[in-house]
Structures are given as C-alpha cells and as structure tokens.
Amino acid sequence: MPQLIPILTINGSDGAGVVGVQADVRTISALGGYALTAITSVTTQNENGEISIKDLPSEMIIGQVRAIVKESHPKVVKIGLVRDASTIKLLKNEIVAAQNIVLVPGIFSSEGKQLVSDEVISVIKKHLLPMTTLLILRSNEAEKMLDIKIKTDDDMIEAARTFIDMGAESVLLRASKHNDGLLTALLYESENSHFFTSHNTEGWQKHGVGGAISSAIATRLAFGDNILTAIDKAHDYMHKQVVYAVSEKVQHSRKTVVYNKFMSLVSENYHKCHDVSFYANKLCVSTRYLSQVTNDVVGISPKQLISDYIIKEAKILLESTNYSVQEISDKLGFSSQSAFSSFFFKNEKETPSAYRLK
C-alpha cells in the first residue's frame, strides 16, 4: 500500500467532534491524508450545561509535538487553538522544519466568544506569524488582531498586507459581511488578490466549517498543491460534505442519508447534468422517491435544489471572473448561451448580463 502523507494538527479537543482535533482528523482522513494530533485543551461541561475549556500543561503539549515531529516528520502542520503564551513560544522551535505551516488561531468561537487572551494574540503575532505559510482567519479575528475595522474590499486587502508585513507568506481572510447578502473571502499572496464570494451565508457560517476547510487546505498543501489550487479543492470538498449537507434526524435518518448523497452528486455533476432522473439513477431510487426525500428533509423539490445550486455557481462566476456569458454557459453545462440566459432569467427575473452590471 502507498505511504500516506502525514499532516499534524495541533488543536483543542471537542468531545462532540464538530470542531477541534476530532473534526480535523475526520477531514484529513476523508481526503486521503494521515492525521497526526497534538491536543492542547479539552472541553468540559457542568451539570448546568455550561461549557468550559481546560488547557493541558505546556510540557505535555510540547512533548506530544516533539515526539510526532521526530518520528513522523509531518509535511504540513496546522496550528489551531493554543491558549497559553508560554506554549506558543516553545512550539515555534518544534515545528520550524515543517514545509508548510497553516495557522488558524481560533480567536473567536462561531458564536463570537473570545477564546484566547489578548496576551496570547500578541504572542501569536510575534512568534507564529513570521513562520506561517498560510494564515486563515475570519474578518472579525483580523479586526481584533490588528485593531481595525473591515468595511470594504480594500480594507480586507490592507489587513492582509499588514499580516504579510508581519511575516506570513499568504493570508486567507474569511466570512466578511461587508457586502450585503454575501460572504466575502480574500486570498492574498505575492501581492496578488483573489476574492471569493458566496450567497450561501448560512452554510459557510455553520459551526465547524472554518476548521474543516482549513484542514482540507492543509491536506491539499501536503499533497503538493499550490495555495490557490488547495483552496479551490478544499472549497469543492466543503460544498459536498458540509455546506449543503443537513444533520441526520432520527425520524428521517434514511432520507437524510439519501439527501446528503444527492447533494454530493449535484456538487460533482451540476456542470454537466441538470436532470433529476440522472441523480435518481445514480442513487438507485425513483424520481418520485427522490422528490419525497428532498421535500421531507428541506421542503424543496430536487429540480429546484439543482437549479439553486447552478444559480449560486453562476452568480459566483458572474461576480468574480471575467468569463463571458457564453463561457459561463459552457462551464455550467448548458447547450447554448440562450438556454443559460433563459434559465437564469426564469430564476432571477433578470439576464446574466444585467446581473453582472449591478
């Protein structure tokens, strides 16, 4: 059997498995990497349901990392939640030889609670940023780290440049809400700016999505992708596994599984097939049963789910690329530009060209 590529995640433990080390292992393994772990903290819950974070002693964290690096030589190290300043100062000496370091400092929880102290933020900036291949953080975390406000695309670029000046090789800023109805992300590397936008504001802000996409990016970097390609492939994975998935419900467990497989197939094939029957055949179910599944799980027909997915991708291409309408039509699997324009107008009440000019 081929040797799996080792990827080390240094992160907190989450007993529910939605975030932290457990989620990192799941993502890295799903993409074909060999997940190695060093746990920095554990979560506990009291009888009132209140959750607290307990940090492991510094010598225990460093001991884990030192043993793994010596034995397995991970190709990429992902650094997540580390809440102790002295640990961070020691950690940099243990991972300095890693080919790629992905830093995801986890300053805020998805609910907006600050997870690390201001002292730790300062130490991260001084000791980890200068050795970081890719810094990944939400816009609100960038605001906290730099004591600024991000209200425009130019503000995102300026923030990214500041992180580059502090030593990071590249920066991915996520989940900025300054554009109405959109989430905006920015990859900044080598003076080049790559913007990404999404209308799926709910999906990309789900609990655990940030940790999962950073682990996916780290895995793709370990496989030899450049940063932009790694992000593109991680984005594709997230579309299939997280953003369009729904949690299993006991009363609909079978239907939920079918629904998630259906959306995974849509994300893989939307650019070449738009027919419900194609997906029903792939799932070995009838079109009628597939309609029952999607209506029961999310209250939407499979045809509309396919259309919604195509529309989201069309909007991204119209907003963030210079492709012509004809080229976008081809990329989305339409027989002609006219067919694509008619489809877009039916769903959005305006032409693709008019949408692009807004």
- Average pLDDT of span 203-227: 82
Domain 6-243: CATH superfamily is Ribokinase (3.40.1190.20)
**Residue 134 tokens, joined:** 């890719």
- Average pLDDT of span 64-73: 94
Is the confidence at residue 249, as pLDDT, over 80? no
Q: Which pLDDT score is estimated for 192? A: 87
Q: Which pLDDT score is estimated for 181? A: 62
Q: Which pLDDT score is estimated for 217? A: 94
Q: Which pLDDT score is estimated for 1? A: 34
**Residue 5 tokens, joined:** 């590529």
Give the confidence band of 328 by pLDDT, cuts at 50, 70, 90.
Answer: very high
* Phi, psi at 39, each rounded to 5°: -90, 130
Which residues 6+ apart lie within 8 Å of 284 measured at CB? none
Which CATH architecture does the domain made up of 250-357 adopt? Answer: Orthogonal Bundle (1.10)
Where is mean pLDDT largest: 15-29, 118-132, 173-187, 258-272? Answer: 118-132
Is the confidence at residue 39, as pLDDT, over 80? yes
Angle at 341 between CA 338 and CA 344, to 5 degrees: 150
pLDDT by residue (tens digit) across 193-202?
888 776 554 5
pLDDT by residue (tens digit) across 106-142?
898 877 889 999 999 999 999 999 999 999 998 999 9
Is the confidence at residue 90, as pLDDT, over 80? yes
Least confident of 241-255, 281-295, 327-341: 241-255
Is the confidence at residue 251, as pLDDT, over 70? no
Tokens 């998935």 identify what position? 245
H or E element that contains 126: none
Is the confidence at residue 332, as pLDDT, over 50? yes
pTM of model > 0.85: no
* Phi, psi at 50, each rounded to 5°: -80, 130
Q: Which pLDDT score is estimated for 216? A: 92
Give the confidence band of 346 by pLDDT, cuts at 50, 70, 90.
Answer: very high
Is the confidence at residue 158, as pLDDT, over 60? yes
Q: Which pLDDT score is estimated for 21? A: 92
**Residue 124 tokens, joined:** 């991260």
Identical fold for domains 6-243 and 250-357, yes or no, is no
Is the confidence at residue 49, as pLDDT, over 70? no
What percent of the chain stands above pLDDT 90? 56
For the chain, give the mean pLDDT.
86
Q: Which pLDDT score is estimated for 174? A: 86
Distance CA(150)–CA(144), nearest Å, equals 10
Q: Contact, 214 vs 104, CB < 8 A?
A: yes
Give the confidence band of 245 by pLDDT, cuts at 50, 70, 90.
Answer: low
Task: Return the domain boundaries, the chain.
Answer: 6-243, 250-357
Distance CA(80)–CA(40), nearest Å, equals 9
